[in-house]
Structure 1
Amino acid sequence: MSANALTRAFPKALKEVRLHLCQTGQASAGARKFLETNYKPIKQSNPDLPFLVREASGTPARAFARFERGVEKHVELDGLSSADVEKKFGELLAASA
């Protein structure tokens, strides 16, 4: 998913995004960098979409997406670079199609 894709509105079927990560762990470094770089553009393009960040010590980095009818999908982000996290995030959003 390109940076431009993150600045566009996400699918209407997407109801919530949750990002779980460790605030200090090396395995979550890519997820933290992705969040620092992309949170603001995502929220500017999707102001009404709940985008929740859950930080907890030792938590593996994962992203969850909740779609219409309670369908929930997730991707593992632990140990990935920021660019790889962005790709996985794109795959997660594409799951709504």
Structure 2
Amino acid sequence: MAWSGNLSKNIRELRFLMCQSSPASSSARTFVEKNYKELKTLNPKLPILFRECSGAEPQLWARFDFGVEKGIKLEGLSEAQISKALEDLVKAGDILKA
């Protein structure tokens, strides 16, 4: 995840929405458990928020400059696909800056 050090350059806030116990959110929970420490170490000033609610559909939201937000539904995605989705959001931030 070489791109993960660029999160704070392109994204102002990252939010994960998920259910604490549903199978639909299991890969999102696992992704967060495995990758949060690295993401936060590489981007210490970036707010990474977790919103848990029973029955919530797993989603990933990124807020960019000027209040622009993009969201991705994570239901049915593997950890690798979630990582790719996050990478795509970082790249989208590059495009928005240009």
Same fold (TM over 0.5): yes
Cα distance in 1 for residues equivalent to 2:6 and 2:88: 15
Which runs of 5 or more residues in structure 2 are unaligned? none
Task: Point out 4+ residue stretches in structure 1 off by more than 2 angstroms.
Answer: 3-6
**Which of 3, 24, 33 is matched with 1:36 structurally?**
33
Which runs of 5 or more residues in structure 1 are unaligned? none
Change (3 A) 1:93 1:13: closer
- TM-score normalised to the size of structure 1? 0.89
Cα distance in 2 for residues equivalent to 1:57 and 1:88: 24
Once the two structures are aligned, what percentage of the paired residues are identical? 41
Pick the structure with more helix per residue.
Answer: 2
Cα distance in 2 for residues equivalent to 1:38 and 1:59: 21
Q: For residue 10 of structure 1, what is the aligned residue in structure 2? A: 7
How many pairs are equivalent? 94
Change (3 A) 1:12 1:5: closer
- TM-score normalised to the size of structure 2? 0.88
**CA-CA distance at 1:11 after TM superposition:** 4.8
